[in-house]
Amino acid sequence: MKTRLLFCLLSLFSVLIAAGANWPNQRGPHFNGSGGEDLKLPAKFSPTENVDWKAKLPGTSAATPVVWGDHVFVNAVDHEKKEIHAICLSASTGKVLWSHVVGKGRVHLDDRSDFSSPSPVTDGKHVAFFFGNADLIVYDMKGKEVWRRNIVPEGDKYFAFQWTFSTSPILFEGTLIMQVLQRDVPFSFAGVPRGKDGANKIPSYLEAFDFATGKPAWKVERKGQAVAESLEAFTTPVIAPTSDSGDKLQLLVAGGDALSGHEPGSGKELWRWGTWNPGKIGHWRLVPSPVAGKGVALACAPKKSPVYAVDIKTGELLWKSEDKEVSSDVCTPLYHDGYFYVLNGEFKDKRLSCIEPRSGKVLWMGEIGSRSKIEASPTCGDGKIYFQDHNGEVFVVAADPKKFNLLHRVQFGDKSMRSHRASLALANNRVFLRSKDTLYCLGK
């Protein structure tokens, strides 16, 4: 009996360790940019230093690599061959375990992005890939296709979205959740019709599927008072605890000039705060996803506007940033060990700020020193914050609420590309860095 009990406890401990060691979605195991608590990660590296392996990929992507055990999931677009790829690599060697061409022909709608921007998501049994053409495909861990569907409504070709749709799927208790925040009227952009012309307005919505079978689980409309492009959001919803004790969970959705909290098992809206756009400006699309910690949810208004903090339990506004440099147009903030870190990738010298969650007090603000735009979101593990700029320069900053300390900066990739957007994944005591068409695995 004692032997059996010990075995069960060891098995449970192994599961918990595995969950902390993985990077299962765009923002990591806690949906906030932080990795597992016991990670050991390098502070310094280069294209030739502390490289465990590097793997050539078929093309580019802004998606974050997703890691579970010995599996690294990445997607890519080969612009020359006009192919969309879903790929699984070995996390220990970089060897391709399986690879599928999931689409051919059109791979982008504009000159700023392509269909491979959404990040995969996995639970260690299945993995879902979603693409900007609305194809949603689920595989088992060996690469066998389990189910697929295109989630654009029948009769439509693309979402009612000006640029390329790039929201990532997330998982909650066996359900795959998709967020579609789009314009409520059809229109045309860059010569491509968007949305279906009909008698009723086009809805924004949340939709969930059974992850294992693809059967619909629930779907709710997510209404908004915004207008035109301001209804559109590149954001990904997140699962967040209402306090650090993790007693209750909510689904946070940012977009359409509002932040809302929902029941993650049904999509039911519990509260809503808005707006950062009282004048109803029509071109304020939203890019940064929400992030939560200490019972506080952050929403970053676009185009050099403030950051807003909302109480997750009540939906009441706690504070908004007063310093114009505490802002983020693209980068999703990080929550780590009791503090928010907001990366302003638009400011001249680029700034990272450390902020107390409930008071909004700025503890420090540090200059990154990059002259290139930053769109990758910061991720953190082992007391270190990682991100890269558009030119492929990678930065490591100490996650220290007492002072700003830039630990390392190094050039990866091709400066001429100027569109390195992928966030770094932190798992298995390794840093997974996507630089143009190469994936690096960096360790000690």
pLDDT in tens, 283-311: 999 999 999 999 999 999 999 999 999 99
Integer-rounded Cα Rg, in Å, for the chain is 21
Beta bridge partners of 326: none
At which residue do the structure tokens 């595995």 appear? 18
Q: Does pLDDT of 385 surpass 70?
A: yes
Rounded Cα distance between 59 and 242, Å, is 40
pLDDT band at 11 (very low <50, low <70, confident <90, very high): very low
Q: 156, 207, 217: which is closest to 183 by C-alpha?
A: 156
Rounded Cα distance between 343 and 374, Å, is 8
Across all residues in the chain, what is the average pLDDT?
92
Helices (H) and strands (E) in the chain, counts: 1, 34
Tell me whether residue 10 is in a domain: no
Can you give the pTM of this predicted structure?
Answer: 0.94
Provide the token pair at 11: 């098995």
Q: Does pLDDT of 7 surpass 60?
A: no
Q: Does pLDDT of 368 surpass 50?
A: yes
* For range 383-394, the mean pLDDT: 96
Provide the token pair at 237: 């919803």
List of residues 6+ apart from 374 with CB closer than 8 A: 330, 331, 343, 345, 350, 368, 387, 388, 389, 390
Percent of the chain residues topping a pLDDT of 90: 83
pLDDT band at 334 (very low <50, low <70, confident <90, very high): very high
Structure confidence at residue 419 (pLDDT): 78
Neighbours of 74 (CB within 10 A): 28
Rounded Cα distance between 146 and 357, Å, is 41
Rounded Cα distance between 72 and 439, Å, is 10
Which range marks the domain in which residue 160 is found?
A: 22-442
Tell me whether residue 11 is in a domain: no
Tell me whether residue 229 is in a domain: yes
* For range 69-91, the mean pLDDT: 96
pLDDT band at 173 (very low <50, low <70, confident <90, very high): very high
Q: Does pLDDT of 3 surpass 80?
A: no
Kindly report, residue by residue over 428-442, the tens digit of the pLDDT: 999 999 988 999 999
Please tell me the chain's helix, strand, coil percentages from 3-state DSSP, rounded to the nearest 5: 5, 40, 55
Percent of the chain residues topping a pLDDT of 70: 93
Q: Does pLDDT of 17 surpass 70?
A: no
Provide the token pair at 10: 């060891």
Structurally, the chain folds into a number of domains equal to 1
pLDDT band at 202 (very low <50, low <70, confident <90, very high): very high
Residue 224 near residue 231, CB atoms below 8 Å: yes
Provide the token pair at 293: 């910690």
Structure confidence at residue 246 (pLDDT): 67
Q: 34, 392, 421: which is closest to 234 by C-alpha?
A: 421
CATH number at residue 117: 2.130.10.10
Rounded Cα distance between 251 and 265, Å, is 9
Of 138-142, 277-281, 410-414, the range with the lowest mean pLDDT is 410-414
* For range 119-132, the mean pLDDT: 97
Rounded Cα distance between 221 and 231, Å, is 13
Residue 430 near residue 442, CB atoms below 8 Å: yes
Kindly report, residue by residue over 304-321, the tens digit of the pLDDT: 999 999 999 999 999 999
Kindly report, residue by residue over 205-240, the tens digit of the pLDDT: 999 999 999 999 999 999 989 999 999 999 999 999
List of residues 6+ apart from 355 with CB closer than 8 A: 321, 326, 339, 340, 341, 342, 361, 362, 363
Instruction: Label residues 180-217 b or e (16+ Cβ within 10 Å = b).
Output: bbbbbeebeeeeeebbbeeeeebbbbbbbbebbebeeb
Rounded Cα distance between 215 and 164, Å, is 26
Q: Would you give the distance in Å from CA 318 to the centre of its chain?
A: 25
Kindly report, residue by residue over 93-116, the tens digit of the pLDDT: 999 999 999 999 988 887 778 899
Q: 376, 398, 382, 387: which is closest to 430 by C-alpha?
A: 382
Structure confidence at residue 428 (pLDDT): 95
Residue 311 near residue 271, CB atoms below 8 Å: no
| N-terminal to C-terminal alpha carbon distance within the chain | 41
Structure confidence at residue 20 (pLDDT): 55
Quickly list DSSP for 195-234: S---SSPPPPEEEEEETTT--EEEEEE------GGGG-B-
Q: What angle do CA 178, 237, 367 make, to 5 degrees?
A: 140
Tell me whether residue 182 is in a domain: yes
